[in-house]
Amino acid sequence: MICVLKMIQRWRFSQILPQFSHSSTFPFLTLFLYFFNSFKTTILSYLICKQEHSILILTFEHHIYFYIVCLLQFALNMASQKERETHVYMAKLAEQAERYDEMVESMKKVAKLDVELTVEERNLLSVGYKNVIGARRASWRIMSSIEQKEESKGNEQNVKLIKGYRQKVEEELSKICSDILDIIDKHLIPSAGTGEATVFYYKMKGDYFRYLAEFKTDSERKEASEQSLKGYEASYSLAATATANTDLSSTHPIRLGLALNFSVFYYEIMNSPERACHLAKQAFDEAIAELDTLSEESYKDSTLIMQLLRDNLTLWTSDLPEDGGEENVKTDEPKAVEPKSADAKSAEAKSTEAKSVEPEEASKDKQ
């Protein structure tokens, strides 16, 4: 028994205390543990002399340790919650200031706490990354368009400069996509407590692998396309079956946004207008059939995405062969530059995707 207690005596809070090194509770806990260790030494000395009381003392010390661990865990949770609230506030502040890179950094810290994100936190993370990646995607399209024009003019020197600049943007795109995909796999999906959240995160996987497929070539493009398809299929399957453990109706913004982006994937990455139209039309028709059940809370977001689905259907239908086959399906990549406003009618029309299935972000897509 003495040996057991001596082993307990040697146990220190080496794995717990470091977590409080930056906490306001650290001085109090250090003092508390100092007195406790002194008290424990006295108990052990008494035990050596009075072995008949060993069981009682061991039980007493066990309870003391239990309460200390509970106290430490409570203090840790309080400190963690405060840290989480601070990061969320800073993300909101960065969003208002349109400093999206800093918004992303704040929300990454929240995601890495390995806790289930609230809907608000999930939206902040999505909006931050969508703006960060969106700026680079727009830059890449513009440079690709200019590069094509310079090539047609035979300006080899300018083409060389543009390629170097474009590759720099591609490196940034790769880093951003790899960053969020790593967070999704290691932190968000494992911590997702609802089917709705899981559907959302798998859709994000499909989106960011699709962004990689937009500029990658050869085997890298093929790999990104396959991973994007897997992400969308997993999300679509979860949204359509009971395994999602959630009520994602046909009019739910997340489900509509998934159908919108999945159909864009088929059209732009897989060069399959027929499948893109089938998926978009199915989602649109199912939502129309349940439109009377649409809640006031999600009415604006759902109807907006439905309009985007219909816009894409109008655009894509012109690419379908009259006989319904795929013999004459257009295989050319869409133009690099997409219209910035409704009056840019001279530019090549490009499919519209959901920047996010959340209200605020979906609204921005039409602005």
Q: What is the pLDDT of residues 81-135, one digit of tens each?
A: 889 999 999 999 999 999 999 999 999 999 999 999 999 999 999 999 999 999 9
Rounded mean pLDDT of 40-46? 55
Share of the chain above pLDDT 90, in %: 57
In this structure, of 35-44, 100-109, 258-267, 306-315, the range with the lowest mean pLDDT score is: 35-44
Please tell me the predicted confidence (pLDDT) of residue 336. Answer: 30
Rounded mean pLDDT of 317-333? 53
What angle in degrees, to the nearest 10, is found between the helix axes of 253-264 and 299-317? 20
Q: What is the pLDDT of residues 198-256, one digit of tens each?
A: 999 999 999 999 999 999 999 999 999 999 999 999 999 998 874 455 568 889 999 99
Confidence band, pLDDT 50/70/90 cuts, at residue 193: confident
Nearest-angstrom CA–CA distance, 94 and 296: 29
Q: Is 365's pLDDT higher than 50?
A: no
Please indicate whether residue 61 or residue 232 has the higher confidence score (pLDDT).
Answer: 232
Compute φ and ψ for 112, nearest 5 degrees: -80, 0
Query: Coil, helix or strand for 98?
Result: coil
What angle in degrees, to the nearest 10, is found between the helix axes of 54-96 and 100-111? 160
Please tell me the predicted confidence (pLDDT) of residue 128. Answer: 98
Please tell me the predicted confidence (pLDDT) of residue 295. Answer: 80
Please tell me the predicted confidence (pLDDT) of residue 44. Answer: 53
Residues 6+ apart with CB under 8 A from 149: none
Confidence band, pLDDT 50/70/90 cuts, at residue 297: confident
Nearest-angstrom CA–CA distance, 210 and 265: 7
Are the CB atoms for 291 and 326 separated by under 8 Å?
no
Please tell me the predicted confidence (pLDDT) of residue 318. Answer: 82
What's the token pair of residue 303? 């109807």
Distances (CA, A) of 286 to 273, 283, 312, 367: 20, 5, 16, 26
Nearest-angstrom CA–CA distance, 137 and 119: 26
What's the token pair of residue 106? 């704040």
Rounded mean pLDDT of 34-57? 54
Nearest-angstrom CA–CA distance, 267 and 331: 9
- Please give the torsion angle defined by the CA atoms of residues 312, 125, 140 and 333, in that order, rounded to the nearest 10 degrees: -30
Please tell me the predicted confidence (pLDDT) of residue 235. Answer: 95
Domain boundaries, the chain: 33-97, 249-321+350-357
Are the CB atoms for 299 and 270 separated by under 8 Å?
no
Measured in residues, the chain has a length of 367
- Dump the DSSP string for 210-268: HHHHHH--HHHHHHHHHHHHHHHHHHHHHHHSGGG-S---TT-HHHHHHHHHHHHIIII
Nearest-angstrom CA–CA distance, 213 and 158: 26
| Torsion over CA: 162, 168, 173, 174 (sign) | positive
Please tell me the predicted confidence (pLDDT) of residue 151. Answer: 96
Rounded mean pLDDT of 144-152? 96
Nearest-angstrom CA–CA distance, 130 and 43: 60
Its pTM surpasses 0.75: no
In this structure, of 4-8, 196-200, 261-265, 295-299, the range with the lowest mean pLDDT score is: 4-8
In this structure, of 47-61, 237-251, 292-306, the range with the lowest mean pLDDT score is: 47-61
Confidence band, pLDDT 50/70/90 cuts, at residue 352: low
Please tell me the predicted confidence (pLDDT) of residue 332. Answer: 35
Q: Is 169's pLDDT higher than 60?
A: yes
Residue 16 neighbours by CB distance under 10 Å: 16
- Report which of 263, 246, 358, 249 is spatially closest to residue 301, judged by C-alpha positions: 358
Nearest-angstrom CA–CA distance, 367 and 347: 18
Confidence band, pLDDT 50/70/90 cuts, at residue 291: confident
Please tell me the predicted confidence (pLDDT) of residue 32. Answer: 54
The per-type count for the chain, helices as H runs and strands as E runs, is 13, 0
Nearest-angstrom CA–CA distance, 338 and 349: 6
Q: Is 4's pLDDT higher than 60?
A: no
